[in-house]
């Protein structure tokens, strides 16, 4: 099968959508498919090339003029590569592929990575099949009008990623103890505001506790100002983007993901693989990634008090902390990339056989 992934770029700066797409492309090539990626490029180009995945440079800037210029460029890619399946991970790529279907025959897959973006996720309904990264996301998409017949659930997975060295080869970061670590974009959607607020309580009850915020983003300055007003500001550490966040996970006393919305965060599986005790907010696909609370403690979102209570309970009970570390690792082998790839292959084959793209508009449901 010939598979073409289309996304904005292949940057190696911690973008979860890019990471998933790159992992999939490489594993699909390893399993015998002919695979290419169309994007504006980035740090993963050489990794893709070494894995036998062809990369086509395609500027998909959202500026209308640039997007119009991208249409003939993408059609040329289609003529050269002749894919059986085009797998779109972002809205601009999806639109380019959809506009190009009049002159080319391929199955179109839309992959919903960000359920919080209502317009972009709903737009994915113009594809022949819509991949939801959790059953929760699938239910949300159905409630937004995407026909249930189009939706298939394929959970994001991380084990065996060619982007990362084996955990055994990573030297743990030296952190002050007890440490609370998050790895997330510095945005309000990731609950950083609530996490810093929760540390007001944790820091008071546990004077030696340290908070490490690993990641970067557009609202980092806002959170740094918030932290600077805290009486515990000397114990709140902004670590910025880290190419190997696993070094922090291996040393973390507790890993936290305080998101307000999160379809299926890859970092939860990385934290489980590293054997972290986990506290996370019960939003979207997070409960599924933590096996409905069996692999980590779930708390309500936007609730610093509940978050602080869960953190303090773990910090105050070493036996419970140890139990949660053990539970995090249970069943983690089910989250390997080859399993995700095979599940997607089933979706591709089902779709190709049905020949749903024979000139029938799949945009009618939007009217």
Closest CA to 297 of 312, 282, 308: 282
The DSSP string of 62-107 is SSHHHHHHHHHHHHHHHHHH--SEEEE-SHHHHHHHHHGGGT---E
- pLDDT score recorded for residue 363: 43
Six token digits for residue 325: 């570390």
Please list, in sequence order, all residues whose beta carbon lies within 8 angstroms of the beta carbon of residue 149, skipping any fewer than 6 positions away: none
Phi, psi of 162 (to 5 degrees): -75, -10
**Mind listing the domains of the chain with CATH numbers?**
2-157+337-366 (3.40.50.2000), 167-334 (3.40.50.2000)
Please give the model's pTM, rounded to 2 decimal places: 0.89
Per-residue pLDDT of the chain (367 residues; tens, 9 = 90+): 999 999 999 999 889 999 999 999 999 999 999 999 999 999 999 999 999 999 999 988 767 667 778 889 999 999 999 999 999 999 999 999 999 988 888 999 999 988 877 776 788 999 999 999 999 999 999 999 999 999 999 999 999 999 999 899 999 999 999 999 999 999 999 999 999 999 999 999 999 999 999 999 999 999 999 999 999 999 999 999 999 999 999 999 999 999 999 988 999 999 999 999 999 999 999 999 999 999 999 999 999 999 999 999 999 999 999 999 999 999 998 899 999 999 999 999 999 888 544 544 444 444 4
């Amino acid at each position: 099968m010939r598979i073409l992934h289309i996304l904005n770029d292949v940057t190696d700066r911690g973008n979860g959508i890019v990471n998933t797409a790159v992992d999939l492309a490489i594993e699909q090539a390893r399993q015998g498919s002919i695979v290419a990626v169309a994007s504006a490029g980035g740090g993963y180009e050489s990794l893709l090339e070494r894995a036998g995945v062809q990369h086509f440079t395609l500027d998909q800037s959202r500026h209308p003029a640039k997007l119009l210029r991208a249409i003939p460029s993408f059609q040329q890619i289609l003529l050269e590569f002749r894919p059986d399946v085009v797998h779109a991970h972002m809205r601009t790529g999806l639109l380019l592929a959809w506009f190009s279907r009049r002159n080319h025959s391929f199955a179109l897959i839309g992959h919903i990575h960000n359920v919080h973006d209502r317009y972009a996720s709903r737009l994915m309904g113009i594809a022949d099949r819509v991949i939801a990264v959790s059953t929760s996301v699938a239910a949300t998409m159905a409630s937004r009008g995407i026909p249930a017949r189009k939706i298939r659930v394929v959970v994001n997975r991380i084990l065996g990623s060619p982007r990362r060295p084996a955990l055994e080869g990573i030297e743990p970061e030296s952190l002050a103890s007890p440490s609370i670590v998050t790895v997330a974009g510095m945005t309000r959607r990731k609950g950083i505001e609530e996490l810093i607020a929760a540390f007001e309580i944790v820091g008071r009850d546990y004077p030696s506790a340290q908070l490490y915020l690993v990641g970067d983003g557009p609202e980092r300055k806002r959170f740094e100002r918030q932290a600077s007003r805290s009486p515990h500001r000397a114990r709140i550490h902004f670590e910025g983007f880290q190419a190997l966040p696993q070094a922090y996970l291996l040393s973390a006393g507790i890993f936290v993901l305080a998101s307000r919305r999160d379809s299926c965060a890859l970092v939860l599986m990385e934290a489980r693989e590293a054997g972290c005790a986990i506290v996370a907010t019960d939003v979207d696909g997070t409960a599924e990634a933590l096996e409905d609370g069996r692999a980590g403690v779930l708390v309500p979102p936007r609730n610093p008090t509940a978050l602080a209570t869960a953190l303090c309970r773990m910090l105050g009970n070493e036996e419970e902390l140890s139990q949660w570390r053990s539970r995090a690792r249970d069943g983690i082998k089910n989250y390997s990339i080859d399993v995700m790839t095979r599940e997607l292959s089933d979706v591709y084959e089902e779709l190709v056989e049905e020949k749903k793209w024979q000139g029938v508009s799949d945009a009618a449901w939007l009217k």
